[in-house]
Amino acid sequence: MTGWTWEYEGYAPADARLRESLCTLGNGYFATRGALPECAADEVHYPGTYVAGCYNRLTSEVAGRQVENEDMVNLPNWLPLRFRLPGEPWLTPDTATVLDHHETLHLAAGLLERSTRYGLGTGRALLVRQHRFVHMADPHLAALRTEFTAEGFSGTLETEAALDGGVTNAGVARYRDLDGRHLTHVLTGTAAADTVWLRCRTRTSDVRVALAARLTSGASVRNRHDRPRALQTTRLELAAGRPATVDKIVALHTSRDPAISDPLHAAVDRVGRAGGFDELLVPHLTAWHQLWRRAELDVPGEAGRILRLHLFHVLQTLSPHTADLDVGVPARGLHGEAYRGHVFWDELFVLPYLNLHFPEVSRALLHYRHRRLERARIAARDAGGRGAMYPWQSGSDGREETQQLHLNPHSGRWLPDHSHLQHHVGSAIAYNVWQYCEASGDEEFLHTKGAEMLLQISRFWADSASYDDRLGRYRIKGVVGPDEYHDAYPDAVGPGLDDNAYTNVTAAWVLTRTLDVLRGLPEPRRRELDERTGLDAGELDEWDHLSRTLHVPFHDGVISQFEGYGELAELDWRGYRRRYGDIRRLDRILEAEGDTVNRYQASKQADVLMLGYLFSPTELQGVFRRLGLNLDERTWRRTVDHYLHRTSHGSTLSGLVHGRVLARARRADAWKFCQEALQADIADIQGGTTGEGIHLGAMAGTLDLVQRGLTGLETRGGALWLDPVPLPGLSSYGFTLRYHGHWGVRLRLERGLLEIAVPSSGRSPIDVHLPDRTVRLQPGETDRLVLPA
């Protein structure tokens, strides 16, 4: 890797899917994996194209049960372009001789370049060079340029480009028992001498999809149709050493798009009016230049290069185009089919970064949650409760999409999945509402949609709590925490745990913040909200009392992950590492042995320690004080140590959270976990999962680690609060942010100095609070501050 490129040398079939994920190109509306255009989907390659928010629901028979799943749909493949000498097989790197192969992802330009020399025998070779982009200025366009150069011969080369509607969802091996045939009614046709089209629809959600492709070259183009494919063929006359070029321009629309009458008409019209490859490239490059300027990040060395790759993939998944869409944060980006494209709590790691660069995108993502507020209220009512019970996994309409069964690849058994009990996702949504409004100053959203979500989430928590006379406190029972390993007590008949500390503490925080918001509403708006929701003073008093009396369990002087956690057995960590090596997915190992992780003090990822990720030490201590509990530095340090030695890190989020928590505690081992977070996808540390889609939360979280974690940056009370921590592996860095209407505020930390520059504007000054002083910067001012040792 270099500063602005990501490069792969040589053809390596075993790494193909990892490369395809990391070389995905997208624009927030759709993305296409970085597969080679001449390769079809097989055990090595997996081309995939995904439109944000395009889902379909199918029923499959699994382990003798009818199981319903909703998936982000793999749409018709626009990439195919294959080639051969007349009468010879089509050339692919798996069937022909590859003399050399090189792929370069140009981050600054959003451009994927490949160069392959195929050996043809008797001193002949064919050099294939390609450039492709998914247009960042026009979200419905993509382009592929291919240059063929004959080496050591002259002659004819046959090429065949296609739009392929015969695709299925088959990118995740453990899902292959499920029905992946999401497309139906595939039709193809010719729009012009150089243009073909394909249209289809999803089988149950009835989303209409249309693509149109225009092929240009120095030779005539012949169109033909072999459903489910629209084909365009050419015969190029190659002269030795002289490149011949074929350009493919594609437009993609669905019936979910605004301001169109018909997807097919829109796609054909758009591709017909689009310029050529070079003409389209100019606004695409401009759009990327503007994105990089708004998200400027300056971190030296290898860490900076990886962070830039992470930022690239975040921007491809959630770009300014996202602000016009009804979509959530897909946990694996638009890069593959893992987690079926569902929306989890990963936005908790994504929105804090976006808030300070692209607040319009954060607002749109929160709108996705608000549009599904009524569905969350229905879920709570169906469960016999009140308020809003948001789903752990969400898709098109906000119903619970968590699978009923999941496959353990170690044992081959399908097992019940109880992760839908992770009701803490509601607190994540509330946290994001609060953080967005604090960072953006968007009082209109806070007083309307934000207040409505906060109210209903608080109502759910209040309804979920029950009073325990013995403890003299309220308890929340039958949940699952962020750890996910533990979903029941040993030998229990049913699932669920009592008083998960993370759940209860964040519920108390949500109740407190909701009270703050409601008390600060303008009186007319407050009256409207009371009338619409039946809210009264008695309910607010109940929430206030509950926010002070929720139970938080402790054992041996540390916060317990849940009630009874301290009574679980200790695991032989050394023995299991010796036997299995990689024990990140300890739950699968134990189940295959006929055991269960529910018996042990062993966590998949940070659970209690998530509290130290979300809240500054001061704020976390304040939440505990409100609960009548003392969380001093010594208790928190013991708690960190306890779980640090009992976590298998079976999630890419785990290293991220531990790195940030340890950095805030000024621990020397923080950098080791930060490095693991940086390596999570590029090194595929979870053993093959990145090839199924990147881990968007972990990628965005590493960006926020620099932005808020190391700087101690908080946006509260109409001011910026900074409390930087030294991290030997990352002692010099800078970035820009957007805060309360100020664009391009620049922060730089280096060798004990903090520089803050506020660009000129007509906005109010920014107050900046440091541990030992407060400064006020007017627009157009720059200040250099010496940090306390």
Tens digits of residue pLDDT in 547-567: 999 999 999 999 999 999 999
Q: How far is CA 713 from the centre of its chain?
A: 22
Q: Are 242 and 228 in contact (CB under 8 A)?
A: no
User: What DSSP string runs through 684-752?
Assistant: TTTTS-GGG---HHHHHHHHHIIIIITTT-EEETTEEE------TT--EEEEEEEETTEEEEEEEEETT
Strands 465-468 and 766-770, sheet pairing: unpaired
Q: Per the omega criterion (within 30 degrees of 0), is the bond before 759 cis?
A: no
Residue 315 backbone phi and psi in degrees, to 5: -70, -30
- DSSP percent split of the chain into helix, strand, coil, nearest 5: 35, 30, 40
**Pick from 310, 331, 212, 275: which is nearest to 697 by CA?**
331
Tell me the C-alpha distance between 85 and 24, whole Å: 29
Whole-angstrom distance, CA of residue 548 vs CA of residue 515: 13
- Residues 474 and 486: their CA atoms lie apart, in Å, by 22
Give the predicted TM-score (pTM) of the model: 0.97
Which tokens go with 223?
A: 């169109």
* Local confidence band at 1 (pLDDT 50, 70, 90 cut-offs): low
Cα–Cα distance for residue pair 431/387, rounded to 1 Å: 17
Q: Is the dihedral of CA 18, 22, 25, 28 positive or negative?
A: positive
Q: Look at the block and give the residue holding tokens 């018996």.
A: 599
Which of 148-157, 160-169, 370-379, 720-729 is the least confident region? Answer: 720-729
Q: What are 753's strand-pairing partners?
A: 750, 786
- Name the nearest CA neighbour of 652 among 408, 431, 346, 422: 346
Mean of the per-residue pLDDT values of the chain: 96
Containing 558, the helix (H) or strand (E) segment is: strand 558-559
367: three-class secondary structure by DSSP? helix
- Token pair in block for residue 710: 């190391």
The percentage of residues in the chain with a pLDDT greater than 70, rounded to a whole number, is: 100
Whether residue 655 contacts residue 662, with contact meaning beta carbons closer than 8 Å, is answered with: no
Q: What is the pLDDT of residue 177?
A: 85
CB 303 within 8 A of CB 729: yes
Calpha distance 608→403 (Å, rounded): 25
Neighbour count for residue 64 (Cβ, 10 Å): 6
Average pLDDT over residues 92-96: 97
pLDDT band at 267 (very low <50, low <70, confident <90, very high): very high
pLDDT at position 89 is: 97
Position 697: which residue type?
Answer: G
- In this prediction, residues 7-26 reach a mean pLDDT of 97
Give the list of residues 6+ apart from residue 407 with CB closer than 8 angstroms, or none: 174, 177, 413, 414, 415
With 90 as the cut, is the pLDDT of residue 688 above it?
no
Of 424, 417, 361, 433, give the one whose Cα is nearest residue 390: 424
Tokens of 780: 């157009």
Q: Provide the 3-class DSSP secondary structure of residue 559.
A: strand
Backbone angles phi, psi at 44, to 5 degrees: -100, -50
Which tokens hold the place of 91? 């050339």
Assign 355 a pLDDT band (cuts: 50, 70, 90). Answer: very high
Q: What is the pLDDT of residue 516?
A: 98
pLDDT of residue 2: 67
Give every CB contact of residue 635 below 8 A, 6+ residues apart in sequence: 557, 558, 559
Q: How far apart are CA 630 and CA 557, in angstroms?
A: 11
Does an H or E element contain 230, and which? Answer: strand 229-238
Residue 666 in this model has a pLDDT that exceeds 80 = no
Residue among 322, 529, 355 nearest 432 (CA): 355
CA–CA separation, 582 vs 589, rounded Å? Answer: 10
- Per-residue tokens: 384: 């016999």
For range 606-634, the mean pLDDT = 97
CA dihedral 362, 365, 366, 368 (to 10 degrees): 170
Rg (CA), the chain: 27
The answer to whether 478 touches 421, Cβ cutoff 8 Å, is: yes
Q: Is 40 helix (H, G, I), strand (E, B) or coil?
A: coil
What is the four-CA torsion angle of 535, 538, 539, 543, rounded to 10 degrees? 140
- Closest of 459, 659, 476, 652 to residue 551, by C-alpha: 476
Length reported for the chain: 789
Give long-range contacts, CB 8 A cutoff, 24+ apart: 95-102.
97/121, 98/11, 99/125, 100/10, 101/9, 101/10, 101/11, 102/7, 102/8, 102/9, 102/10
List, in order, residues 6 or more apart from 495 with CB less than 8 Å away. Answer: 416, 418, 421, 478, 480, 487, 488
Which residues contact residue 595 at a Cβ distance below 8 angstroms, ignoring those fewer than 6 apart?
none
Cβ atoms < 10 Å from Cβ of 486: 29
How many C-alpha atoms does 567 have within 13 Å on its Cβ side? 6
Q: CB atoms < 10 A from the CB of 747, how many?
A: 20
Q: How far apart are CA 3 and CA 304, in angstroms?
A: 8
Asked whether 74 and 334 are in contact (CB, 8 A), the reply is: no
Cα dist from 383 to 264, 388, 460, 466, 487, whole Å: 43, 11, 11, 16, 19
Contact of 375 with 399, CB cutoff 8 Å: yes
Residues near 406 by beta carbon (within 8 Å), at least 6 away in sequence: 414, 415, 417
How large a percentage of the chain has pLDDT more than 90? 92
Tokens 């948001």 map to which residue?
Answer: 390
Q: pLDDT-derived band of residue 22, with 50, 70 and 90 as boundaries?
A: very high
Query: In sequence order, which residues have a C-beta less than 8 Å from that of residue 683 and are 6 or more positions away?
Result: none
Average pLDDT over residues 305-320: 98
State the amino acid at position 187 in one-letter form: L
Which residues are 291's β-sheet partners?
none
Compute the distance between CA of residue 675 and CA of residue 690 in angstroms, rounded to an integer: 17
The enclosing H or E element of 268 equals helix 263-273
Residue 644, Cβ density class (10 Å: 0-12 exposed, 13-18 middle, ≥19 buried): middle
8 A C-beta contact, residue 679 and residue 695: no
Strands 719-721 and 766-770: parallel
C-alpha 619/C-alpha 615 separation (Å) is: 6
Residues 180-218 have pLDDT tens digits of 999 999 999 999 999 999 999 999 999 999 999 999 998
Strand partners, 408: 413
Q: Which two tokens stand for residue 758?
A: 């506020």
Residues with a catalytic annotation lie at 484
CB 178 within 8 A of CB 62: yes
CA nearest neighbour of 715 among 445, 435, 513: 435
**Confidence at residue 389, expressed as pLDDT on a 0 to 100 scale:** 98
Does pLDDT of 407 surpass 70?
yes
Average pLDDT, integer, range 52-61: 96
Average pLDDT over residues 455-475: 98
Query: What's the confidence (pLDDT) of residue 730?
Result: 83
Give the three-class secondary structure for 93: coil
What pLDDT, on the 0 to 100 scale, is given for residue 665? 83
